[in-house]
Amino acid sequence: MINISRDNNLLSVDQHISGFRLEPIVNLFSGHVISHEVLSQLAAPSRDSEIFFANLSAADSVALFCRQANLLKSRQASGSFFLNLPIMALIDERLFARLLDVCESWITIEIQDAPLFDTCSRRHQLCLRERIKLLQQQRISVWLDDLTEGCIESFHRYAIDVGGVKIDKQAFWTLGKNPRALQRLVARCADISPHIIIEGIEDTHHLELARQSGASFGQGYLWPHKRWLLSDTLSL
């Protein structure tokens, strides 16, 4: 587990993370870049980054989130940015207070483990709904990542109001073999929010499938992304 100081800066981030990648989020039809997702890159390329970040504690995730936000501020980056957080980062009172201190309207919080909402207690589910409302009052948008058929009904039941939803690349690649099934998932997601991003678009075939699905936005290696090395940012 990564060590964290009292001010939520990662003490040994250079031992784990080599830099940051900014992936564009693109309008599927106009090609206009509407935002970027900030992703951390591990120093050890052999490590599975998805497993590494999924296993971070909520406190570690908030520390990384704060570092990313401060980096964007120091570089005076223009535009809006998606930064990832787990559900518990919004539910934990101390961590949530830290987020309110750091977040600004150009930050969109992406709940990276939205399918786990079903496993939360009713108290935590209601708490998450209220925390999202508080963030929205501060003009901070919250999106749900990796939405699946299984968890959509729960978000409906608790009337969770979010800025948008993302469909995971694995779901897209699987359902892309059955365009009607993909369209059904997009339609279900649209019941939560009309703003839908499909991840994992890597070629023109993927792009056409995404356009036909009913979604408006896409993300993936089809579009060039920026990289910031940690060694370049430490002096900022």
Gap between the Cα atoms of 144 and 135, Å rounded: 14
On whether the CB atoms of residues 145 and 168 are closer than 8 A, the answer is: yes
Name the residue among 136, 137, 130 with its Cα closest to residue 91.
130
Mean pLDDT over 89-95 rounds to 97
Name the residue among 44, 23, 45 with its Cα closest to residue 35.
23
**Range with the poorest average pLDDT among 36-45, 57-66, 209-218:** 36-45
The model's confidence at residue 231, banded by pLDDT at 50, 70 and 90, is low
Q: What is the pLDDT of residue 36?
A: 98
Q: What is the pLDDT of residue 120?
A: 94
Higher pLDDT residue, 12 or 86? Answer: 86
Gap between the Cα atoms of 223 and 20, Å rounded: 16
Mean pLDDT over 34-49 rounds to 84
Looking at the structure, give the CATH architecture of the domain made up of residues 13-233. Answer: Alpha-Beta Barrel (3.20)
User: What is each CA distance from 23 to 4, 29, 180, 205, 228, in whole angstroms?
Assistant: 26, 18, 28, 19, 12
**For a pLDDT cut of 90, what percent of the chain falls above it?**
69
Gap between the Cα atoms of 14 and 19, Å rounded: 9
Q: What is the pLDDT of residue 48?
A: 75
Gap between the Cα atoms of 83 and 64, Å rounded: 10
The model's confidence at residue 233, banded by pLDDT at 50, 70 and 90, is low
Tokens of 73: 């501020």
Task: Give pLDDT tens digits for 198-208.
Answer: 999 999 999 99
Non-local CB neighbours of 49 within 8 Å, separated by 6+ positions:
40, 41, 42
